[in-house]
Chain A
Amino acid sequence: GDSVTQMEGPVTLSEEAFLTINCTYTATGYPSLFWYVQYPGEGLQLLLKATKADDKGSNKGFEATYRKETTSFHLEKGSVQVSDSAVYFCALSDQAGTALIFGKGTTLSVSS
């Protein structure tokens, strides 16, 4: 079945460092891809999404490009801030388009 694999965390960075969180997927068809973020004590929030191959989703300085040839959707940010500390989830929509399949989540901790 469809699945999402994320790099294991935690990821610990200093402020202004470059961030990459790897995400690869297995799916039949052409799913939409998502990154969700969960700040401490809060629910998951949509960070960005891409609905077809080569689309780039971006928001708040984060970017991810839908790469069909490598089945990847890696999350990047050029300069992280302490406020980016959170858990990041990669996800894809299932074939019916009514459910999301999530990865395990990657915890990012940014120190000043």
Chain B
Amino acid sequence: EPEVTQTPSHQVTQMGQEVILRCVPISNHLYFYWYRQILGQKVEFLVSFYNNEISEKSEIFDDQFSVERPDGSNFTLKIRSTKLEDSAMYFCASSGWGTDNSPLHFGNGTRLTVT
């Protein structure tokens, strides 16, 4: 069964550094998402992406964050200048249609640790 793959599985970075988290969504899916889960807290929506543009974003997704689909297969999340509070598990997801009509398929996550 096709799956969403995320790399790396664990990323350690220093505060103030830029990080790029990578995802390869399922190939025929049209909607792409990033979520994050700070340890012990809720899984939080960051951003959704459709037709090469952001379709929705949360308050968390400020100017430090950006997303890109550079080559038609990868979907990346960039954090420009990481803060300690960015430490979390970041999940990428994709779906064929919008949330109500098709399930989200999640990757296994990238654990980001900012020191």
Contact = CB atoms under 8 A, between A and B. Distances in A.
Interface of A: 4, 32, 34, 36, 41-46, 49, 51, 89, 91, 93-94, 96-105
B103 interface: yes
Interface in B20-56: 31, 33, 35, 40-45, 48, 50, 55-56
Nearest to B9: A41
Contacts of B99: 32, 93-94, 97-100
Contacts of B50: 98
23 contacts: A32-B99, A43-B109, A44-B43, A46-B104, A51-B100, A89-B43, A93-B99, A94-B45, A96-B56, A97-B98, A97-B99, A97-B100, A98-B55, A98-B56, A98-B98, A99-B45, A100-B99, A102-B35, A102-B43, A103-B42, A104-B40, A104-B41, A105-B43
